[in-house]
Structure 1
Amino acid sequence: MKKPIVLAVDDDPQVLNAIDRDLRSEFRKDYRILRAASGEEALTTLQELKARAEPLALVLADQRMPQMEGVELLEKTRVLFPDAKRVLLTAYADTEAAIRAINNAHLDYYLMKPWNPPQELLYPTLHDLLTAWQAKYKPRFQGLRLIGFQWSPLSHELKDFLAGYMVAFQWLDFETNPEAKELLDTTGLTAADLPVVVFEDGTAESRPDRTAIASKIGLALKASSQLYDVVVIGAGPSGLAAAVYGASEGLKTLIVERQSPGGQAGTSSRIENYLGFPTGLSGAELAHRAWSQAVRLGAEFLAQEVTGLCVQDGYKVLTLSDGSEISTRAVVLTTGVSYRTLEVPGIDKLTGAGVYYGAARTEARSCDQRDVYIVGGGNSAGQAAMYLATYARKVHIVIRGESLAASMSAYLIEQIGRTPNIQILPFAQVVEVRGDDHLEQVVLNNNGQLEERPAQALFVFIGAKPSTEWVCETVACDSKGFLLTGRDLVTDPRYGSLWKREREPYLLETCVPGIFAAGDSRAGAMARVASAVGEGSMAIKFVHQYLDE
């Protein structure tokens, strides 16, 4: 973090050298000391500091300077940096002007020349002023900043993407945060260009796509090699586990993820039933730990989307969204699942503008002291409800059945029962959502009665569908799109003709030898984080057996 600045201004070189020397001697540990030889030079420096959004703590200016007197400079300083302390350096003959400046120009203090010894006549006063400034100073956020509109779907997508990679960023709502307008002015862009991402180096991009952000935050977009031992497609818990074990066991491993690490589990606000974490942890934290572990062990991570998969001479050839190709000896498909959409009137227009799928952590703060609704009765819905309850005035869980017992873990049901601002609405369903540019109202069929209720946010957790559309022409999927593996390929008469080798397929092997599936997108998988991690680890065992054939 950059140190706050103290600026000394005097047209007399000897005096400027003396004040610069004394300031550095006492304050350089906590402040950067700058100097200017005239009012015009000082004003230019101040404007540059303002453009770079650097913190100015104090200006110490001589009164008698040609072209621009000290009082005039300090008045202009107040416009640029209203919170900075302003001190006038005067000779005895200028004390009346200094006193007038205290009243008219809101001067903080004036000091007499000479100030020797500084330990008595300079430092105590400046220490008092700087202490008062520090008490109100809020350091500028050091990192990526996102300026946008709260109800903009693209703003929501960018927040979700950054949160998924655990990138520290500051969200600035253009309509409610004055800092957003000030920062936008420094970029040369306008409100019509929002959302705007301002990177730590000061560069800004309007409406950037994920590829542009991924490049700026250091994610790889190009594979370093053309051939790998195993490529893992998808960085959910199963994919990350496969990458960890593949890399740790000496396989040249690449993991490709089109969105962000963690998959559906990565959006969970708190996972409390995963082995080894008695107090629980967020899905994003678990994903980030696993991602760091895989990279440390030698796995390569690629922020790309796989759009095609084919087999050529035994090698698996992957086509990426940028048109490039990668070859590998084995593939582990851990593409996971995506949330099913709620099909009710008004939903398409308001998705990302008050209606969200699995984004409780990203949008929780925007729900402060408001009424929110959750549709769904599974563990993801329960975890979201507990997290949102710390912000929202009231959290309503809308379920079709009588209770949560059939679909939610007992520990979550108990926690929800002890949380006074969570209400369960049984035998209910959302039949319509309303609002102009953002969600304003939900219409419920509540036990046969239609009810119109005000709502600021609706979070949807109504099950999931496998993300396998792009691969079902290459490997066999069941009627719902889940990947078929293992003995299903030889014992089920519907799929028995798909396996062509003499040996039986390995437990997690698809109908194409050397292509394996693990996690929630696999037919018959158990939708739990621990199970997904176990399958990802097992898949590497079978990869080894396949490569040794």
Structure 2
Amino acid sequence: MTKPVIVTVDDDPVVSRAVARDVRRRYGDRYRVVRAGSGPAALDALREIKLRGERVAVLLADYRMPEMNGIQFLESAMDLFPLARRVLLTAYADTEAAIDAINLVDLDHYLLKPWNPPEEQLYPVIDALLDAWLATPDGDIAETRVIGHRWSAPSFAARDFLARNLVPYRYLQADDPEGERLLAAAGVDASELPVIITTDGETLVTPTETELAAHVGLSTTPTGDFYDLVVVGAGPAGLGAAVYGASEGLRTVLVEQRATGGQAGQSSRIENYLGFPDGVSGAQLTERARRQALKFGAELLTTREVVGLEPAGSSRLLRFGDGTCLATHAVVLATGVSYRMLEAPGLAELTGSGVFYGSASTEAPSCSGEEVYIVGGANSAGQAAVHFARYASRVHILIRGGDLRRSMSQYLIEQIERIGNIEVHTYVEVAGAEGAGRLERLTLRDPRSGETRTIDTSWLFIFIGAQPRTDWLEKVVHRDERGFVLTGPDLVTAGERPAGWALPRDPYYLESSVPGVFAAGDVRSESLKRVASAVGEGAMAVALVHRYLAAQ
């Protein structure tokens, strides 16, 4: 197989030779470096590379070029090589344009010129991008195909599951010529949707998530029956716990019911997370954390629902929905929270058919040229609005209160104010939804006066409230009145330890009312609902697990 290609583009011959020289010196033994002096010339080279069937790993383009600047080039190059990692070379004065490019072309990084010494300023960036590119399956070689209907809730659920688990797939409408051809070849009626055709040609008709996971390469079965640490929930807190647990020598398994990343994994852009000044999408952050956990030896189980927890001597026993169980020395509960269901007539029946909870990124391109309504005033709703504004003709944010500042970060409010097709509507709530098989109309109500109005739309995305996923822990660990897990000092009242606590010490800071069972992230009572704090608590929980195990 020919070497993958790294393309550098700069109209300044001196800079062009310098960047190509530095890149070739480090990567020339594994990659072919192609140098171009302009955007159009680079596109011509990319078309030739495409015709030869070669792959492009990284694109480095200078921002200030005549005829076609770096952002315009990277946007055009995405059509030819969508998996290639994109880097913008820029001067300090142009950093604002580079930051804007993050949303426009999903920029992976920008580098300030000069990048000397390359060992510190250039190579670490390209190393990380090449690692990410190598870990991304090539959709041109093999792809999972999903055949469904635009307004089919099961079809949406299958696509969303694959997207959130970072499984590349191609979606086909059942009434498209290719979709009809594949259904006929599989001998499946169009009423039985979705139909998934795996990379090895196997046909799955309306599969469960567990069946789908098993056929697309996701692990669903543990390799052992006893572990040092079981982490329940693969959001930021769970991923943090898995990384630190596995890297510090604990035999660790991470159990997730649906998809890694949790709510954060659905975010189109997180801009206030430490170490990512240009922002990072939830999917990118999740993928990096997942690969990091696997690198250190953690196991990751998908589509496994934990339904029970019980002490068994010095061990802790976790029971799955299929009746099997897993034993462990210690547990980290990191199940996070889910969006609260919006109680209004018609919404439940239309969920997945125009009504969605969370940022359904799979649906964003389908919103092109249409009006989208988003319910919620926290960061997740704001991030979704910015993302959908790239596709929709207009994005409407609906909030019950009079101001976003009560629940949304200031940087995000300012960003929304700069985007012309986002409109914020205060004192508005959804009173009902109607449609024949899909969302067609919403009834909106002013909570102060009770006045209502009806609007036509096919898209409603809901980001309200947060309810913990802890029903399965009832009568096992102590929870607060809202269902969040109580830990550490919150369990000690007037010097009295929780009922049933047999150890001669108080619970550790993140420890629940069951010794050896810890809680981290959003599921913990009074936690700060932010990605950075969740990751920190995941790491802290592992430190406390070590302390707990050392005392056993």
Question: The TM-score by the shorter chain falls in which range?
Answer: 0.7 to 0.9
Q: In the alignment, which of 438, 461, 464 is matched to residue 459 of structure 1?
A: 461
1:141 Cα shift?
Answer: 7.8
What pairs up with 1:382-393 in 2 under 5 angstroms?
A: 382-393=382-393
Which digits, 9 at most, give the CA deviation of each residue in 1:463-495, with x for residues without a partner?
Answer: 110001101221111111000000111136897
Tell me if structure 1 keeps the 8 A contact 2:375–2:462: yes
Which string of whole-angstrom CA distances, capped at 9 and with x for unpartnered residues, describes residues 302-330 of structure 1?
A: 12111111111121011112221111000
Q: Is the 8 A contact 1:378 1:408 kept in 2?
A: yes
Aligned to 2:452: 450
Corresponding residue number in structure 2 for 1:471: 473
Matches within 5 A, 1:98-497: 142-175=142-175, 177-303=176-302, 304-446=304-446, 448=449, 449-491=451-493, 496-497=498-499
CA contact (8 A) 1:159 1:362 kept: yes
SS in 1 for 2:472: coil
The separation in 2 between residues aligned to 1:492 and 1:383, in whole angstroms, is 43
Q: TM-score with structure 1 length normalisation?
A: 0.73
Structure 1 contact 489–499 (Cα < 8 Å) conserved: no
**Partners of 1:160 and 1:362 within 8 A in 2:** yes
What is the rounded CA distance, in whole Å, between the counterparts of 1:439 and 1:445 in structure 2?
A: 18
Amino acid at match of 1:430: V
- Give the Cα separation in 1 of the matches to 2:495 and 2:387: 46
Q: Distance in 2 between matches of 1:494 and 1:426?
A: 46
Contact 2:145 2:172 in 1 (8 A): yes
In structure 2, how many angstroms separate the alpha carbons of the residues matched to 1:230 and 1:443? Answer: 49
Superposed CA RMSD in Å reads 1.8
The residue type paired with residue 406 of structure 2 is A
Which one of 528, 540, 546 corresponds to residue 544 of structure 1? 546
Q: How far did residue 498 of structure 1 move?
A: 5.0
Q: CA deviation at 1:395?
A: 0.6
After TM superposition, give the deviation of residue 335 of structure 1 in Å.
Answer: 0.7
Q: 1:228 to 1:455 in 2, by over 3 A?
A: same
- State the aligned residue count: 414
- Aligned partner letter, 1:543: V
Compute the displacement of 1:497 (Å).
3.4
CA deviations 1:515-543 (Å, max 9, x no partner) are 00001010010000000000000000000
Contact 2:498 2:513 (8 Å CA) reproduced: no
Q: Which residue of 2 aligns with 1:85?
A: none
> 8 Å contact 1:266–1:283 — kept in the other structure?
yes
User: Following the alignment from structure 1 to structure 2, what is the Cα–Cα distance between the partners of residues 494 and 430?
Assistant: 46
Please say if residues 497 and 506 of structure 2, whose CA atoms lie closer than 8 Å, have aligned partners that are also in contact: no
Contact 2:253–2:301 under 8 Å retained in 1: yes
Cα distance, 1:372 vs structure 2: 1.0
Q: Deviations over 1:400-426 (max 9, x none)?
A: 111101100011101110111111110
The normalised TM-score by structure 2 is 0.73
Residue deviations 1:324-360 (CA, integer Å, cap 9, x gap): 1111000000011111000000011101100000133
Confirm or deny: 8 A CA contact 1:490 1:497 kept in the other structure: no
Q: Output the CA distance in 2 between the equivalents of 1:302 and 1:322.
A: 14
Match of 2:506 in 1: 504
- For 2:527, the equivalent position in structure 1 comes to 525
Q: 1:356 to 1:495 in 2, by over 3 A?
A: farther
Q: Which amino acid letter does the alignment assign opposite residue 160 of structure 2?
A: D
Aligned in 2, Cα 1:352/1:141: closer, same or farther, shift over 3 Å? farther
CA displacement at 1:173 relative to structure 2: 1.9
C-alpha contact (below 8 Å) 1:269/1:360 kept by paired residues: no
446-455 or 373-382, which deviates more = 446-455
1:423 maps to a residue whose letter is E
What secondary structure is seen at the aligned counterpart in 2 of 1:268?
Answer: coil
Deviation at 1:140, TM superposition (A): 7.3
- What is the identity, as a one-letter code, of the residue corresponding to 1:428? V
Q: Indicate if the aligned counterparts of 1:360 and 1:388 stay in contact, CA closer than 8 A.
A: no
How far residue 192 of structure 1 moved from its aligned partner, in angstroms, is 1.7
Contact 1:261 1:287 in 2 (8 A): yes
1:433 CA drift (Å) = 0.8
Q: Is the 8 Å Cα contact of residues 382 and 413 (structure 2) preserved in structure 1?
A: yes
The one of 501, 512, 515 aligned to 1:513 = 515
Check conservation: 1:246, 1:540, Cα contact below 8 A. Answer: yes
User: What does 1:23-34 correspond to in 2, within 5 Å?
Assistant: none
- Aligned residue for 1:215, secondary structure, equals helix
SS at match of 1:271: coil
Q: Structure 1 residue 499: deviation in Å?
A: 3.3
Moved more, 313-322 or 460-469: 313-322
**One-letter identity of the residue aligned with 2:299:** E
1:169 & 1:474 partners in 2: Cα distance?
Answer: 41
Letter in 1 for 2:534: A
Q: Which residue does the alignment assign to 1:40?
A: none
Report the 3-state secondary structure (helix = DSSP H, G, I; strand = E; otherwise coil) of the residue aligned with 1:318. Answer: strand
Q: Provide closer, same or farther for how the CA distance between residues 386 and 201 of structure 1 changes in structure 2, counting only shifts above 3 A.
A: same
Tell me the percent identity: 50
Whole-Å Cα distance in 1 between the matches of residues 321 and 213 of structure 2? Answer: 14
Partner of 2:113: none
- One-letter amino acid of the counterpart of residue 548, structure 1: A
Counterpart amino acid of residue 257 in structure 1: E
Q: Which runs of 5+ in 2 are unaligned?
A: 2-50, 54-138
- In the alignment, residue 550 of structure 2 is paired with which amino acid? D
Q: Which residue type is aligned with residue 499 of structure 1?
A: W
Where 2:384 maps in the other structure, the secondary structure is helix
In the alignment, the residues of structure 1 paired with residue 234 and residue 533 of structure 2 have an alpha-carbon distance, to the nearest angstrom, of 15
For the pair shown, the structure with the greater C-alpha radius of gyration is 1
1:110-158, CA deviations, whole angstroms, 9 ceiling, x for partnerless residues?
A: xxxxxxxxxxxxxxxxxxxxxxxxxxxxx97830011101111111111
Aligned partner of residue 256 in structure 1, secondary structure: strand
Amino acid at match of 1:222: T
Shift of 1:187: 1.4
Note the C-alpha offset of 1:394.
1.0
> 1:427-460 CA distances to partner (integer Å, 9 max, x unpaired)?
1111111111000011111463311101111000
Distance 2:140 2:545 in 1: 49
Q: Structure 1 CA distance, aligned partners of 2:495 and 2:353?
A: 47
1:198 Cα deviation after fit: 0.9
8 Å CA contact 1:160, 1:359 repeated in 2: no
